[in-house]
Amino acid sequence: MKRLLAIAAAVLCIAAASDPAERLTDPAQEARARVLFREVRCLVCQNESIDDSSAELASDLRRLVREEIKAGKSDNQIRAHLTDRYGEFVLLKPAFSWSNAVLWGAPVLVVVAGLALLIANFRNRPADEALSPDEEAAVRRLSED
């Protein structure tokens, strides 16, 4: 039963994502649009492309991409428009930037710094010193009680 529901949901998503009324008349432009659809994240579903999503916002984004393709904009211009409007999160594979590198590299740097501090702490520990006679007497008294 679960399998049947999953298949039905998948068919619904695919059917919603490829509504014939929305398609461009030029097959080359429609192919470009489909490639872009797979690169753009549905902001409602978040882990699906707008090509796979049946959300209303995904439909709006598909329409926007098709309109921009009709207007003669390049793929890079369309991506730039989407990221200006929705932020870099809208792209399933964001472009490399130093801010992304810092975001992904910071946890590694924190772990390396923590390990370095841990090693330095163990190396700089003072050697165990012997107890003074007064301290030994105090320990004996505590252990006798």
Q: Where are the domains of the chain?
A: 2-90, 98-144
pLDDT of residue 102: 86
Cα dihedral 97, 103, 106, 107 sign: negative
Q: Which residue has the tokens 């792209």?
A: 91
pLDDT at 2: 57
pLDDT for position 73: 93
On the 0-12 / 13-18 / 19+ scale of CB atoms within 10 A, 40 is buried
The highest-level CATH class for domain 2-90 is mainly alpha
Q: Which portions of the chain are predicted below pLDDT 70?
A: 1-21, 145
Q: How many CB atoms lie within 10 A of CB 53?
A: 25
Six-digit token pair at 44? 């409602």
Long-range contacts of 6-14 (CB under 8 A, 24+ apart): 12/54, 13/48, 13/52, 13/53, 13/54, 14/52
What's the helix, strand, coil split of the chain in %, to 5? 70, 5, 30
Q: What is the pLDDT of residue 38?
A: 92
Q: How many CA atoms lie within 13 A of 123 on its CB side?
A: 6
Closest C-alpha among 86, 71, 88, 90 to residue 32: 71
Please report the pLDDT score of residue 61 as a whole number. Answer: 92
Q: Which two tokens stand for residue 81?
A: 């428009």
Q: What is the pLDDT of residue 62?
A: 93
